[in-house]
Amino acid sequence: MSGLGKRLMILGAGRHQVPLIQTAIDLGVEAHVCSIAGDYPGLALATYFHEVDISNSQAILELARTIKPHGILTTATDVCLESIGLVVDEMNLPGSGFATTSSCLSKVRMKRKLVASGVPTAQYRVISDANDGIEFFNNHRGDCVIKPSDSSGSRGVNKIHDVEDVKPAFESALKFSRRGEVLIEEWLEGEEFGAQAIVEHGECKLLVLHSDITTPPPRRIPVGHGCPHPNEEELIGTVRNIVIDAIASLGINNTISNIDFILTEDGPKIIELTCRMGGTRLPEVCGTYWGVDFYALSIHLALGEKINLPPIPTGKANAAHNLIVSRQGTFLSMDQINDEFSHEIYFDIGERLVLNSAQQIEMGYIQLIREDPSSILEDLTNEANRLTSSVRLGEE
Ligand SMILES: Nc1ncnc2c1ncn2[C@@H]1O[C@H](COP(=O)(O)OP(=O)(O)O)[C@@H](O)[C@H]1O
Ligand SMILES: [Mg+2]
């Protein structure tokens, strides 16, 4: 593993791409950061900055033809996946090609491929109006969920308990779908968890399971993660087989793949997967447990370099939790964070906090690292709740 002197395109310069950009620089990689102009923290870090809309595949391809990178990647965002796939194909780079990246962006295409390969996933139907949804719901025993095919961050995803819920849920999903594509699925009962799969030359070299902390239904949003997963030992065999099939069915390659599961009575089933690392501090959480730097790994994979992994975890049990508030205003104060937690707070006192499209403000995150994993999730969640409820915001 070296990376030294190689050219790497990193798409995105937001908060979640900052550690990726910093790691590339630390590795001595010639990091070409691509983003629209704006108040993005990654811009200041970049030695080579290219002002471009990363969701514009053709613009990214044209730029790539001038940079001639050895690799291209992102983390924690989906908006640029098609651009990455196009560049990987056209410039013959390591990584996942266009057919793969576009399937990861469309739940309809993704589920078609998963089902065709016999990968366990929720039963579904593409619906073009509320009546299609009502028909599916009435023919299905139990709750369902309606979601846009191509969105993220749980936007427009709503649980359906009653037939009356279908119409508003369809409309909400449609609003968040770029292509106007909506699907209804059976609601899978069970605990939500996830995995990061390190895929090198089409092979799953390491699978790291993690637990998820989500907001309660009807709209479940992942807000935190812990590693190791408390039932890793009994789950890993089954999950590994599912992941191998899922990766092969979508053609995910030379990347770290983020995979979401529900542990149902019939075993684990995939909610969705993608050809990049997860957000919500998953690289930090899984990397802290395995004792490896996930950002560095993903860079080496994108550059087509051989990676070295320890055979067993060499780090510590830990979990991270986002600090999320659903109000806006001027940031006045927040309680002191307990010393045991490492943390990052994205805003300064006096800054104006504005709700995002999911009607939230992500204020930062806290992470708890301990030898004994038993009460990490509980203590972390309590601290996160204590901190977010202590946030005082000034009037608009
Ligand atoms: N079929 C399902 N059964 C149970 N929960 C689901 C199902 N589909 C989605 N969810 C819940 O909604 C969340 C968001 O749905 P997801 O399909 O992952 O959309 P997004 O791309 O916005 O993340 C999931 O993390 C999960 O908590
Ligand atoms: Mg999801």
Peptide bond into 228 cis (omega under 30): yes
Is 161 near ligand 1, meaning CB less than 6 Å away?
A: no
- Note the pLDDT of residue 218: 67
Number of structural domains (the chain) is: 3
The number of the ligand nearest the C-alpha atom of 156 reads 1
Is 153 near ligand 1, meaning CB less than 6 Å away?
A: yes
Confidence of residue 221 (pLDDT cuts 50, 70, 90): confident
Is residue 212 included in any domain, yes or no?
Answer: no
What does the alpha-carbon distance between residue 127 and residue 166 come to, in Å, rounded to a whole number?
Answer: 11
Cβ distance 69 to 8 under 8 Å? yes
What does the alpha-carbon distance between residue 33 and residue 389 come to, in Å, rounded to a whole number?
Answer: 36
Is 280 near ligand 1, meaning CB less than 6 Å away?
A: no
- Note the pLDDT of residue 93: 98
The number of the ligand nearest the C-alpha atom of 220 reads 1
% of the chain beyond a pLDDT of 90 = 93
Is residue 266 included in any domain, yes or no?
Answer: no
The CATH number of residue 159's host domain is 3.30.1490.20
The CATH number of residue 379's host domain is 3.30.470.20
Segment 309-337 shows an average pLDDT of: 96
Tens of pLDDT, residue by residue over 375-391, are 999 999 999 999 999 99
Average pLDDT, whole number, for the chain? Answer: 96
CA of 329 to the centre of ligand 1 (A): 30
- Note the pLDDT of residue 130: 98
Q: Residue holding tokens 């969640």?
A: 381
Segment 361-381 shows an average pLDDT of: 95
CA of 158 to the centre of ligand 2 (A): 12
Tell me which of 76, 105, 134 is where a domain ends.
Answer: 105
Six-digit token string for 180: 């106007």
DSSP 216: P
Residue ID of nearest Cα to ligand 1 atom 24: 220
Confidence of residue 191 (pLDDT cuts 50, 70, 90): very high
- Note the pLDDT of residue 215: 84
Tens of pLDDT, residue by residue over 111-147, are 999 999 999 999 999 999 999 999 999 999 999 999 9
Is residue 204 included in any domain, yes or no?
Answer: no
- Note the pLDDT of residue 3: 72
Confidence of residue 305 (pLDDT cuts 50, 70, 90): very high
**Are 101 and 129 members of one domain?**
no
**Are 347 and 374 members of one domain?**
yes
Confidence of residue 1 (pLDDT cuts 50, 70, 90): low
Answer yes or no: is pLDDT of 2 > 80. Answer: no
- Note the pLDDT of residue 273: 97
Q: Domain of residue 95: give its range.
A: 7-105
**Are 90 and 127 members of one domain?**
no
- Note the pLDDT of residue 356: 87
% of the chain beyond a pLDDT of 70 = 99
Is residue 281 included in any domain, yes or no?
Answer: no
Answer yes or no: is pLDDT of 159 > 70. Answer: yes
What does the alpha-carbon distance between residue 252 and residue 256 come to, in Å, rounded to a whole number?
Answer: 9
- Note the pLDDT of residue 57: 98
Confidence of residue 4 (pLDDT cuts 50, 70, 90): confident
Query: Which atom of ligand 1 is the closest one to the Cα of 219?
Result: 12
Could you tell me how many residues make up the chain? 396
Answer yes or no: is pLDDT of 23 > 80. Answer: yes
The number of the ligand nearest the C-alpha atom of 261 reads 1
Query: Pseudo-torsion of CA 297, 298, 302, 303, nearest 10°?
Result: -30
**Are 346 and 390 members of one domain?**
yes
DSSP string, 232-282: HHHHHHHHHHHHHHHHHHHT--SEEEEEEEEEETTEEEEEEEESS--STTH
Distance set, CA 209 to CA 23, 257, 282 (Å): 23, 12, 11
Tens of pLDDT, residue by residue over 32-84, are 999 999 999 999 999 899 999 999 999 999 999 999 999 999 999 999 999 99
DSSP string, 332-393: EE-PPPPTTEEEEE---TTPEE---TTS-EEEEEEEEEES--TTHHHHHHHHHHHHHHH-EE
